């Protein structure tokens, strides 16, 4: 379980990334994707998450899609929650009902989240309301299990 101070630090670190451009499979202040944003902000808040796509941590990894491997990684370090708090993760499905997850963000309270997303506007890291468009893509909230 995360303390309120660590949760606030996660959100502070995520807010510092607002405006960083989206760059697939990256996690730096020069460019970052959604998973990289979670990894980067948690690390900056003092929480080490694995730096992997799940190949080393998932049995028979080659039988699973990248999305399935990432979900398995998240579930090793996070539990499902129906009562999200700031700093928790939310998982979303962007494109297909046949893909378990392919997007994530950091919950910042008031039905809003921070994520790195590329669309025609090329937004990169920004805040987003969990409005109708995003609510129908929402899968679940996850909270960090702790050490």
Under 8 Å between Cβ of 98 and 1:
no
What is the DSSP pairing of strand 27-28 with strand 103-109? unpaired
What's the CATH architecture for 4-144? Alpha-Beta Complex (3.90)
* Cα(45)–Cα(64) distance, integer angstroms: 31
The predicted-structure confidence for 115-135, as pLDDT tens digits, reads as follows 998 876 668 999 999 998 899
Query: In this predicted structure, what is the pLDDT of residue 96?
Result: 67
Q: Structural domain boundaries of the chain? A: 4-144
Phi then psi for residue 109, to 5 deg, are 95, 170
pTM: 0.86
Q: Which one is predicted more confidently, 17 or 123?
A: 17
Q: How many CB atoms lie within 10 A of CB 57?
A: 14
Residue whose structure tokens are 């893509």: 137
Under 8 Å between Cβ of 119 and 23:
no
Query: In this predicted structure, what is the pLDDT of residue 147?
Result: 58
pLDDT reading at 59 higher than 50? no
Which residues have C-beta within 8 Å of that of residue 72, sequence separation ≥ 6? Answer: 54, 57, 58, 64
The predicted-structure confidence for 75-118, as pLDDT tens digits, reads as follows 888 999 999 999 999 999 887 666 667 889 999 999 999 999 88
């Amino acid at each position: 379980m995360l303390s309120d101070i660590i949760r606030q630090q996660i959100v502070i670190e995520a807010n510092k990334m607002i405006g960083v451009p989206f760059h697939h499979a990256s996690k730096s202040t020069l460019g970052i994707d959604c998973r990289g944003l979670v990894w980067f902000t948690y690390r900056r808040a003092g929480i080490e998450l694995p730096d992997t796509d799940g190949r080393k941590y998932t049995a028979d990894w080659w039988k699973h899609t990248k999305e399935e491997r990432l979900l398995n990684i998240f579930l090793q370090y996070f539990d499902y929650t129906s009562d999200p708090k700031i700093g928790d993760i939310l998982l979303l499905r962007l494109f297909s009902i046949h893909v378990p997850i392919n997007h994530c963000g950091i919950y910042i309270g008031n039905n809003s989240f921070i994520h790195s997303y590329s669309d025609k506007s090329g937004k990169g890291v920004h805040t987003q309301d969990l409005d109708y468009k995003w609510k129908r893509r929402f899968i679940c909230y996850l909270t960090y299990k702790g050490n």
